[in-house]
Amino acid sequence: MGKLILLCQNPALTDWLAALFAEHAPQLDVLRPGDAQAHLAEVAVCWFPPAGSLGQLPNLRLVHSIGSGVDHLAQDSSRDPAVPVCRVVDPDHTLGMSEYVHWGVLHFHRGFDQVIAGHSQQHWQRPVQRKAEHFKVGVMGLGAIGAPVAQRLAGAGYDVRGWARTPRQIEGISTFAGAPSLHGFLAGLDVLVNLLPLTASTQGVLNHAVFHHMADGSALINCGRGQHLDAEHLRQALASGKLRGALLDVFEQEPLPADAPLWHMPGVWVTPHMASAASDLCIARQVADNVSRLAAGLELNNRVDAELGY
């Protein structure tokens, strides 16, 4: 098999990946930047690769994300767009995302955000309890992850509606499609959950225009990508009271820098891209399988469509 190099901005993640492949795919010839033969690598396994790193690999034949998203590769503009890109698709990813979003909706529905915020002031006030059926939740993105998430919330009794670029039919859920229906989808929402893929048309989609149509005192849960969110528009919406809170799991730069304003923005809850992640074994097996397929000249699994971006 060809040589494989690990490219991550976070050194701790590089160490974790090296240990992961050593345990689950010891047949792979794994390198790190700075190794004597690093420039000979044919496969780059990445999560937020350092700028310029991919362009230093003249033998590169495959770029492999360790997650379901590939937008983090934009951190390195030196990547040759002709080199195929693959991603990891874990069948358990949907379950993890559904659990996280359900928890996030409960966080705002039951007022845990208000209780936690009042804890430091020893403020004892019980939030008003609302029935789930009176709490409106909107899910943007109704693909392989978004649709099951919406169904789980509907099964828990919430008033759920969904929005996607193209028409979808999901039993028990009101669905909206395309830009003309977006305002109707947003109208009166108590919580908006973003699970859209990142494309040119969805960049910055979480902005003033979206927040304006939601209910006053509503909340945002972003599990899509950091680039979906206009952070300044979020700050303004929180400051005005239009939004009461935001649960953010994805960011333009990860790890989120210590001096990032989002850490200290009132009403914002930051989690470290933990909503759902592929298992160690799944990452190792899918990368190793694609390395083997590349060597044999076979079709690659989970190859990304360059035009769609996923």
CATH superfamily, region 3-90+277-296: NAD(P)-binding Rossmann-like Domain (3.40.50.720)
85-86 vs 43-47, strand pairing mode: unpaired
- In one-letter notation, the amino acid at residue 76 is D
Alpha carbon distance 210, 206 (integer Å): 6
Q: CB under 8 Å, gap of 24 or more: what pairs does 30-33 form? A: 30/4, 30/5, 30/6, 31/3, 31/4, 31/5, 31/6, 32/5, 32/6, 33/5, 33/6, 33/7
Domains 3-90+277-296 and 93-270 share a fold: yes
Tell how strand 62-65 and strand 85-86 pair up: parallel
- Can you give the pLDDT of all 310 residues of the chain as single tens digits? 679 999 999 999 999 999 999 999 999 999 999 999 999 999 999 999 999 999 999 999 999 999 888 888 988 999 999 999 999 988 788 899 999 999 999 999 999 999 998 888 888 989 999 999 999 999 999 998 999 999 999 999 999 999 999 999 999 999 999 999 999 999 999 999 999 988 889 999 999 999 999 999 999 999 999 999 999 999 999 999 999 999 999 999 888 999 999 999 999 999 999 999 888 999 999 999 999 999 999 999 999 987 666 6
Domain 93-270 fold: Rossmann fold (3.40.50)
- Residue 126 DSSP symbol: P
Give catalytic residue positions. Answer: 225, 273
Map out the domains of the chain as residue ranges.
3-90+277-296, 93-270
Length of the chain: 310
